[in-house]
Amino acid sequence: MSLVELKNIRRVYRSAGGVEVQAVKGIDLVIEAGEFVAIMGPSGSGKSTTMNTLGCLDRPTSGSYLLDGQEVARMNRDEWARIRNQKLGFVFQGFNLLARTTALENVELPLLYQGVKSTKERKERALEALASVGLAERSHHVPSQMSGGEQQRVAIARALVTRPVLILADEPTGNLDTKTSDEVMELFESLHQQGQTIVLVTHEPDVALKCRRVILFRDGLIIGDGDPGEVLGTIAKGVIS
């Protein structure tokens, strides 16, 4: 059983004026547990739409999505909320931390939503997650007292604290300078080494090269899928763009 199986996923947006946009036009995608995947492609090619499908945030117009053996495409919103909380971890370009809340409290929050009642257990697990991203000493800092890279590492700790089967990150290094971006990618690499499944979206070839597999989108379809060097090579050669 694969961790993720998308079959013939389509997503059509209908605007108020009746205009249809086919954001994703029937994609098949299998991701095994433990994979470290980058999704690339031009603006508007369907990357975020696909991430929103994977994240149980947006319902595909048609198609099937098996996550960890369960058909999730047709679940209702409450079931989705439970799946998101129990199986998925999210990392965003803009970090999305609560502003006047310490790193520790930010990381504890998903456990509170999960119904972990023991304050002690929440704190211990949040501290463990912060330590795993190298930020044990920053646990009482609020976001404004941390660098962008540190904030993103807190966000990664928050995504990890519930021990999700899948981490989804839409342009996680998009707001970071090259050095900090490298640090965040080293952290993802070490999580990958520990068996964590990670799917991220990026526009940056340097970031994609640090993953193990690149999936290339164009016009709502997957037009390339494989070894990062090979897929990026086909882009560089102009075979596909």
Smaller CB distance to ligand ATP: residue 40 or 126? 40
CA–CA gap between residue 143 and residue 140 (Å, rounded)? 10
Smaller CB distance to ligand ATP: residue 8 or 190? 8
Smaller CB distance to ligand ATP: residue 45 or 151? 45
Closest distance to ligand ATP from the beta carbon of 72 (Å): 19
CA–CA gap between residue 95 and residue 150 (Å, rounded)? 10
| Residue 194 interface partner, choices ligand ATP, Mg ion, none, CB cut-off 5-8 Å depending on type | none
Per the structure block, which two tokens stand in for 52? Answer: 């929103």
Smaller CB distance to ligand ATP: residue 107 or 211? 211
Residues 18-57 that bind Mg ion (CB under 5 A): 48
DSSP 153-194: HHHHHHHHTT--SEEEEESTTTTS-HHHHHHHHHHHHHHHHT
| Residue 3 interface partner, choices Mg ion, ligand ATP, none, CB cut-off 5-8 Å depending on type | none
- Which stretches of the chain bind ligand ATP, using CB under 6 A? 13, 15, 21, 23, 41, 43-49
Cα dist from 33 to 30, 37, 96, 109, whole Å: 10, 11, 26, 26
Closest distance to Mg ion from the beta carbon of 151 (Å): 20
8 Å CB contact between 235 and 216: yes
**Of 88, 92, 90, residue with least CA distance to 70:** 88
Closest distance to ligand ATP from the beta carbon of 17 (Å): 11
CA–CA gap between residue 29 and residue 226 (Å, rounded)? 12
Kindly provide the residue ranges of all beta strands, DSSP E only, lying in 82-237, ordered along the sequence: 88-92, 166-170, 198-201, 213-218, 221-226
Closest distance to ligand ATP from the beta carbon of 227 (Å): 22
Smaller CB distance to ligand ATP: residue 41 or 164? 41
Closest distance to ligand ATP from the beta carbon of 110 (Å): 25
Chain residues binding Mg ion by CB under 5 A are 48
